[in-house]
Amino acid sequence: MACHLVIGGSLLLSMLSCSPQANSSLQTGKGAYATRQYRNLFKENGHAEEEVLRKIQAGYQQLFEGDSATQAIYFAAGKNEKGPLAYIYDVYNKDVRSEGMSYGMMIAVQMDKKTEFDALWNYAMTHMYIDQPGHPSEGYFAWSVKPDGTRNSEGPAPDGEEYFVTALYFASGRWGNGQGIYQYKEWADKILTTMRHHPETSGTTKFGPQISGPMVNEEKRMILFVPTNQGRKFTDPSYHLPAFYELWALWGPKADREFWKAAADTSRAFIQKTTHPKTGLAPDYAHFDGKPVTTPFNPNSHHFAYDSWRTAMNWSVDWAWWQKDPKEQELSNRIQAFFASEGLTSYGHIYTLDGKKVSSGPSAGLISTNATVSLASTHPVAKEFVEALWNLPVPHTVGDRYYGGLLYLMSLLHCSGQFKIYKPKK
């Protein structure tokens, strides 16, 4: 069926009925893992490869090497016996987060920046890794610390661990394994084992009593919001990374490979449940059946908000790498149709799931992830989302620099075909 497209005051949502077969070239392969071919969406839009690489490098230089007061999120932090240290700084919240550290490491390995990767990993292991015997979160990373390493929390957030693991596997594949904390594959295996097999542990932290367990719900085969206290009762759709789980099922500890294989399929099915059938929007937090969760500490937890921006990126990368679930293409068409109907230059950044705007004004992070959705989208407007990212300045405001900047750089890498899979060395 042909896609009926009207750009102007609105975009007809008949686009939602567009079949993924509209672009048959995407149906013939098995995804980038099998083909080793990564689409360059910018090149498909007519930009020269050299120009694309310059744009990526310019973004990296500003965010990792730029002015410390107005541009940078990467900061050197001296050295210890293991080598240099550095951290990714959330300039808005004035802390260092496992999310940002792991994203920074992923960007570093994709851009072949081993010195920066090792400095970030050294800081994470020195200041964030919880290795006190008997601590409820032993073997996890504190999700937030001050730049000097003082902990703001003694509990983890799974998105940090998920990206740490995959970045370490890629580092092993790209650079080989070193010694100690730089034995990348050994540490990836260790963290991944802890994520599934962490014992149920109760104890007292400096922030109060804590009960901690695995980062997954074993029965549901699903990642948790957090593995501590009440956070074990629900999930975060943006933490569902089936593209990564497929790799863990191939490379991770053998005893857990079948679990991660099943988790990838579970996440694909969950994403279909938690996204709205008309808009494609997912909530920040959700029950295991996909229904939104309302929490007292996040007033937007039941809305499409900051965490949720990553969800569509995750399923689109899963399609690009594995091509196992064509429904991910349908979802990409659906969510891009929604945002196009809101106006490509004027859509908001927080919405109710059925599409009512809660907070106006586009944000760099959402513009970036919406472009990555074009890896799986099959209709003409996908090119316009890619071009919106191309035209986006490198995020520099206090509110956008950290989160928006990281999503900007990762999306540039995804959309340029420069975000690649590196098989770890043994």
Q: Which DSSP letter does residue 53 get?
A: H
**Dihedral (C-alpha) 332, 162, 307, 303: value to the nearest 10 degrees?**
80
How far is the C-alpha of 279 from the C-alpha of 281, rounded, in Å?
5
DSSP H helical ranges for 198-254: 242-251
- End-to-end, the C-alpha distance of the chain in Å comes to 48
Distance CA 43, CA 51 (A): 9
Q: Is the dihedral of CA 223, 226, 232, 238 positive or negative?
A: negative
Going by C-alpha positions, the residue among 66, 178, 67, 65 that lies closest to residue 118 is 178
Query: 130: which residues sit within 8 A by CB, 6+ positions away?
Result: 137, 138, 139, 140, 141, 142, 154, 156
Cα dihedral 228, 400, 417, 86, rounded to 10, equals: -60
Tell me the H-state helices in 254-358: 257-274, 309-322, 327-342
Helices then strands (H, E): number in the chain? 14, 10
Is residue 5 within 8 A of residue 12, CB to CB? The reply is yes
Which pair of structure tokens corresponds to residue 236? 């975060």
Contact 102, 60 (CB under 8 A): no
Q: Annotated catalytic, 307? A: yes
Pairing of β 216-217 and β 222-223: antiparallel
- The span from the CA of 70 to the CA of 353, in Å, is 35
Instruction: Retrieve residue 124's tokens.
Output: 């994470």
* Active-site residue (options: 90, 307, 325, 387): 307
Instruction: Identify the active-site residue in 95, 99, 161, 387.
Output: 99
- Measured in degrees and rounded to the nearest 5, phi and psi for residue 259 equal -60, -45
Hey, which residues does 97 pair with through a beta bridge? 144
Across 81-197, where does the E strand assignment appear?
Answer: 83-88, 96-97, 144-145
Asked whether 306 and 284 are in contact (CB, 8 A), the reply is yes
3-class SS of residue 225? coil
Per-residue DSSP letter, 232? G
Active site residues: 99, 307
